[in-house]
Structure 1
Amino acid sequence: MTFSLVARCVETGMFGIAISSSSPAVAARCSFARAGVGVVASQNVTDPSLGPLTLDHMAQGLSAAQAVAAVVKQGKFIEYRQVLAVDNAGTTAIHSGPNSLGIWTQASAENVASGGNLLANDTIPQAVVDGFLSATGHLGDRLIAAMRAGLAAGGEAGPVHSAGMKIVDKVSWPVVDLRCDWSEGCPIENIATAWDVYKPQLDAYIQRALDPREAPSYGVPGNE
């Protein structure tokens, strides 16, 4: 019921994930990223514990492939799970259990991996990867472009209703964490609209956290 990508920006070292599903609040259960470590999607009959576990393994020095292999050994009902990871060297790994739902497949390249289940066709993850690699600009722009490419290639077998995008960079919290937990419209376009609003303010929000004395105006009534 999901298609997603996990990615690393070569220029900045940022990690990001974008994900969409016919299920509600997919990003709340499936998206995990840690600055300086990596990014993970845990999806398909989701076990949210697999995301932090994979990141913990990578934080201890395992590659994405080694971390995912360890999780496959440790996880319960792993034949039902999909786990996608990118590490801080840009290497990728994907586990798709044989009990993944419907049409399921995966694709990857250096610094990016995509997977999905209950897909409209088996071209979606490759379209997502190609969309990411052909896009330019901020990591967030490329994540949005990739998800739009996946949707244009067919997306899920049915309409998607939720989506999310998360990016980490240097600090301990996500610098971007945008979600649409339910929409009868297009949740990917809802996230794209939110990104258009948030992107120009991203650096200001980070600065306010690090040192509000050097931060720009808050832009609220009474503040100049």
Structure 2
Amino acid sequence: MTFSLLGRCARTGQIGAAGATSNIGVGARIQHIAAGVGAVLTQHRTDPRLGPRGVALLRSGCSARETVDALVASTPHHGWRQLAALDARGGTAHFHGARVKPAHNHAHGRDCVAIGNILANDGVPAAMVAAFAADPGAPLADRLLAALAAGEAAGGEHGPVVSAVLEVHGAHDFPLADLRVDRAKDPIAELAGLWRDYAPQVEEFILRATDPDRARGG
């Protein structure tokens, strides 16, 4: 009952994730990202421990494929898990456990991978990848949100979506954006609205952290 996508901007090196589900708190569980390293998604009967473990594997030099394979080998409950990884070079990989409930599917594109489970139909991940690829010159956050909206428009999941997340990392060891909506009637639209409000302030927040003498705010 989750659909999500990992994406990378080849121009800026930014890495991010967007996802939505019919459970509360999707942003607290599924996405695990490190600037300049890569990202991991862990969902279905989610084990959040696999996320940091996957990021550590990517940081050690493992490819996305090697990372997913190692995560699967490391957990005796892999039949319940759905995983994806994106490395800093844009390589991608996924895994569906044998007990992941249908409809489930995946799709890979340039610098992105989408996965989903308990979907309305198995075309949702492909719709997400197509939307992500549609405007490669756009900011990464915009592309991730477009992918999420396309996944919902393609059918989304069986139940009503109530939570959504957008997280993007750039050159620093803190996220450029980490926005979450929970227990909402239209969380994907609300998430897009949060990003519209937040985007003009991103550079100011970076200055406050890295060069506070030049920052304007308090």
What range describes the TM-score normalised by the shorter chain of this pair? over 0.9
Q: Answer with 135-144 or 30-39: which moved more.
A: 135-144
Post-superposition offset of 1:11: 0.4
Return 5+ residue gaps in structure 2 as ranges: none
Q: SS where residue 167 of structure 1 aligns? A: strand
Distance (Å, rounded) in 2 between the aligned partners of 1:141 and 1:25: 21
**Cα offset for 1:182?**
1.5
**Runs of at least 5 residues in structure 1 that lack an aligned partner in the other structure:** 219-224
Aligned-residue RMSD, C-alpha:
0.9
Partner amino acid, structure 1, of 2:183:
W
Taking structure 1 as the reference length, the TM-score comes to 0.95
Give CA-to-partner distance per residue, 1:104-141, whole Å, 9 cap, x none: 11111121000000100010000000010003411000
Deviations 1:141-181 (A, max 9, x none): 00010111111110011210000010111111111000012
Q: Which runs of 4+ in 1 moved over 6 A?
A: none
CA distance in 1, matches of 2:130, 2:176: 25
Aligned to 1:44: 44
* Offset of residue 76 of structure 1: 3.1
CA distance in 2, matches of 1:40, 1:4: 11
Q: Which residue of 1 aligns with 2:152?
A: 151
8 Å CA contact 2:2–2:44 kept in 1: the answer is: yes
Confirm or deny that 1:137 pairs with 2:138.
yes
Q: Report the count of equivalent residues.
A: 217
Q: 1:221 maps to which residue?
A: none
Task: Tell me the amino acid that sits aligned with residue 200 of structure 1.
Answer: P
How far apart, in 2, do the equivalents of 1:8 and 1:39 lie? Answer: 9
- Calculate the TM-score normalised by the size of structure 2: 0.97
- Identical residues among aligned pairs (%): 41
Q: Following the alignment from structure 2 to structure 1, what is the Cα–Cα distance between the partners of residues 179 and 75? A: 28
1:101-140 map, 5 Å: 101-135=101-135, 136-140=137-141
Which aligned pairs between 1:45-194 and structure 2 lie closer than 5 A?
A: 45-135=45-135, 136-183=137-184, 185-194=185-194
Distance 2:98 2:207 in 1: 45
